[in-house]
Structures are given as structure tokens and as C-alpha cells.
Amino acid sequence: MLAAGFFLLRAKTCEPAGKLLFFLYLAVQVQFICHNVTFYIYNIWFAGMLQWDYTWGDILGYGLLMLLLTPLFAWASRRIYLRLRTINSRQYMRLWLIPLLFILLHILQSSFFTISRYAYVAVGIRIMIDVCAFITYSQMASAISSAAKAAREAEQRDGLVRQLDLQRARAEDLESHAGEIRRIRHDRRQHAQVVLGLLNQGKTDEARSYMKDYADSMEADTQPPLCGNFVADALCRRYETLARQAGIDVELVAALPEDSGARGSDLAVILGNLWENAAAALRAEEKRRYIRLQIEDGDGRILIRMENSYGGEIGVEEGRFLSTKPGRNNAEGIGIASVRAVAARYGGMADFTYTGDTFTASVLLYTGERIHKSQ
């Protein structure tokens, strides 16, 4: 019966097996509680009925308790479900073992303490086991929910840090430009005097050549923006500088307007995580060290593609990339999960693939009116 229910639910919901087993075992324990409470009441008021075979009255007594207790434990199970629904299937593969252990404990207790010999004690212990099981599930769900909330808050803090870094980089750029303007104003007088002296001497060709050299030097000193979008430009320029200082070959092609349709904070999460993951992957690579980033915009969508070489091994489990950073204990990488979450909010996708020497991240965002209205 339980196996049939499992396969029917699996076919209908397409949920992971671990998740379905967990909640099926919860349903089994609800049945255990109703059954044991029925026997406990019989021991108090109708002890003599326990010595006879089952009757139609037993069905009525058991059914009434089912009607009374099932909604209560269904409510408790729903609260547990709502707290646990956001965790990944790999964690469910471990969680379903807990209700299974409680069920086995219930069965073992039923085998060693029969009702005919230790009626009150046996049934009371069974009820305590089942109630303790639900208390355990509730505390476990609360702990997992708190951990997930802490992870989300950490992600938000990382996003704020990136925003502050962007503002700091922008302030440094403005300060640098202000200093450059002051220098140009200071030097302009000297250049004007040189040109004026050449013209007074009738040396127009020399004056023209001098002005050409001056214009070329001004162009060389001025770095054109990578693209019109401030967030993408500031972030990519900052990480590009750091990467080149570390001896990494960088290729950037970006075509993203100022009003791209994507929030600046979301772009910061995506680009910041991609750059940081690429930099982390290149720490163990000594020979071919490169990062190639391409950002395209058009037809209501944004495509971001980054390729980088890497050193060492890539940890993958059930399609999830595991973090190799110290202290993460090979848990799922938060950066990749954050990129996927942002892409999902825009109705897009984030795909991560790798070959023997290249890791590729592709992110697609839909920024048209249809997506924004649905949000």
C-alpha cells in the first residue's frame, strides 16, 4: 500500500524520492497515533473489549479519532512541509531516515511489549514515541529553516558589499577624473604657450604636429567605458584590473545599455559571483590562465557568457557544483546557487558546464514587459 502510494505520488508530482518518502512516513506515523490513542481509550473505558475480536464498533471508534486527530497532525505536517520545501533533494535523502527510524522503533516496541501483558505501559510508550517524533520533526524543520534564512541573509549581505564596492569604485573613478581634469587645466596653459610661440614664428607645420601629438596623448590617457551600464562597467573594469594584475589574460566584450531592464543589484550578484568563481578556479592553474566574458543585450533579453581555465578538480554531485572553498565542507556553492536564483526571477536560466580545461557559465535573463508584469 505504501509502495503504491509512493509510485502514484511520484508519477503525479515528479517530486524527488527522498521528499516523498519523508512525508509518506509522516502519514504513517499519524495513523500510528490514531491507532494507539484508540487502544489507550479502550483501556480506560472499555478494557473488556480488548479481549474480543474486532467489531463494527471498533471501526466507528477508530474513525472518530481519525476525524479528530488527523486534521491536527495534518496541520503540523503542513507546517513542517512549508519549512522544509526550500531545501534541496540531497538533504531530503538524509531526512527521510529520521521518520523511518521512529517507525522502526515503534514496531520494535510493539514486538517486545505486547498489549495483553502491559496494556497501559505499552500503548503509552507508543504514543510518547509518536509525539516525540513530531516534536523532533518540528525542531529539525525549525533548525533547517533558520539555517536557510541565515544563508539568504548572508547572500543579501554579499550583495550589499558588492554594491558598496561599486560605489567605492565609482567614487575612485570620479576622484581620478577630477585629478586628471585639474592636471589638464594646469598643463593647458603651457601647451597653449608652445603652440602660440610656434605660430608666431610661422612654424605652422610644427604647431599642427604638436597639436596632433597632444590630441593622441589625450586619447591614450582616457579609458573608454566598457558599456553604457554603470554596474556592468564598474564591476567588470574593477575585476579586469585585479585579474590582469594577477597575470590573467582577460577578454571583455560587453554591449549593455544603461537601462538594460535588469536591476543593478541583480547584475551585481551575477557578474560578481561569476568573476569571483573564475578567480578562485584560476588559483590552482599555473599555465593557461584566461577569462573571456561576453555580455549581449537585445530582443528583451540579456545573455552573459563567461569562460575560464581552471586548475584542480571540480566537485559535482547530482548536477550540483560543490564549493572547494575552506570551511564549506564540499557543500553546494552559494555563488552558483545565487546566480541560478536571480536568473529564475527573470524567467531565464543559468547553465554551468566544463571540459577538461575550461569552465563555462551561461546566464540568460528575460527583461521584456511580460516578465516584469509577472513579477
Where among 152, 171, 190 does a domain terminate?
A: 152
Do 267 and 368 fall into the same domain?
Answer: yes
Give the Å distances, CA to CA, from 314 to 71, 270, 292, 355, 372.
47, 20, 19, 10, 36
SS3 251: strand
Residue 323 has pLDDT above 70, yes or no: no
- Which residues are CB-neighbours of 284 under 8 A, at least 6 positions away? 310, 311, 312
Task: Please check whether residues 283 and 261 belong to one and the same domain.
Answer: yes
- d(CA 184, CA 12) in angstroms, rounded, equals 71
Mean local confidence (pLDDT), 278-291:
83
User: Which residues span the domain enclosing 74?
Assistant: 2-152
pLDDT, residue 371, reads: 44
Rounded-to-integer distance, Cα 43 and Cα 41, Å: 5
- pLDDT tens digits for 211-253? 777 776 665 555 566 788 888 888 888 888 888 888 889 998 8
Res 47: pLDDT: 53
pLDDT the model gives residue 107: 74
Q: Which three cell numbers stand for residue 29?
A: 506515523
Specify the pLDDT at position 291: 93
C-alpha to C-alpha distance for 351 and 339, rounded to whole angstroms: 10
Distances (CA, A) of 5 to 10, 72, 104, 177: 8, 22, 19, 69
For helices 17-45 and 56-84, the axis angle rounded to 10 degrees is: 140
Whether residues 370 and 289 share a domain: the answer is yes
Give the percent of the chain with pLDDT over 90. Answer: 9
In this predicted model, what pLDDT tens digit does every residue of 116-127 receive, in sequence order? 555 666 677 777
CA distance 23 to 242: 49
Lowest model confidence (mean pLDDT) among 99-103, 176-180, 262-266? 176-180
291 and 211 fall within a common domain = no
State residue 332 phi and psi, 5-degree precision: -60, 140
pLDDT in tens, 107-149: 776 666 555 555 666 677 777 877 787 777 777 777 777 777 7
Q: From 80, 77, 71, select the one nearest 139 (Cα to Cα).
A: 80
Residues 113 and 234 in one domain: no
- Lookup result for grid cell 505501559: 121
* Residue-level pLDDT at 373: 38
The number of C-alpha atoms within 13 Å of 232 and in the hemisphere containing its C-beta is: 26
If asked whether residues 132 and 234 sit together in one domain, one would say no
Predicted confidence (pLDDT) per residue in 47-101, tens digit: 555 555 555 555 566 667 667 777 777 777 777 777 766 665 555 556 777 777 7
Report the pLDDT value the prediction gives residue 362, as an integer from 0 to 100.
94
Tell me the residue length of the chain.
Answer: 375
**Number of domains comprising the chain:** 3
pLDDT at 222 (0 to 100): 53
Pick the closest to residue 143 from 82, 74, 83, 78 (CA basis). Answer: 83
Split at pLDDT 50, 70, 90, the class of 192 is: confident
Domain boundary among 152, 176, 204: 152
Same domain, residue pair 139 and 54 = yes
**Structural domain ending residue among the three candidates 152, 172, 203:** 152
Backbone angles phi, psi at 305, to 5 degrees: -135, 125
7-36 tens-digit pLDDT: 676 667 666 666 777 777 777 777 777 777
Cα 256–Cα 259–Cα 265 angle in degrees, nearest 5: 85
Taking the C-alpha atoms of residue 85 and residue 126, their distance in angstroms, rounded to an integer, is 29
135 and 271 share a domain? no
CATH number for the domain that contains residue 341: 3.30.565.10
Same domain, 246 and 312: yes
> What's the confidence (pLDDT) of residue 328?
46
| Nearest CA-CA partner of 177 in 241, 209, 136, 221 | 221
Domain shared by 144 and 170, yes or no: no
Residues 258, 345 share a domain: yes
The pLDDT score that the predictor gives to residue 361 is: 93
Q: Which three cell numbers stand for residue 298?
A: 537585445
pLDDT at residue 306 in the model? 94
| pLDDT, the chain, mean | 73
Nearest to 335 by CA among 293, 278, 277: 277
Q: How far is CA 85 from the centre of its chain?
A: 14
In whole angstroms, what is the distance from residue 60 CA to residue 340 CA? 52
What share of the chain has pLDDT > 70, as a percent? 62
Residue 285 sits in the same domain as residue 259: yes
pLDDT at 327: 46
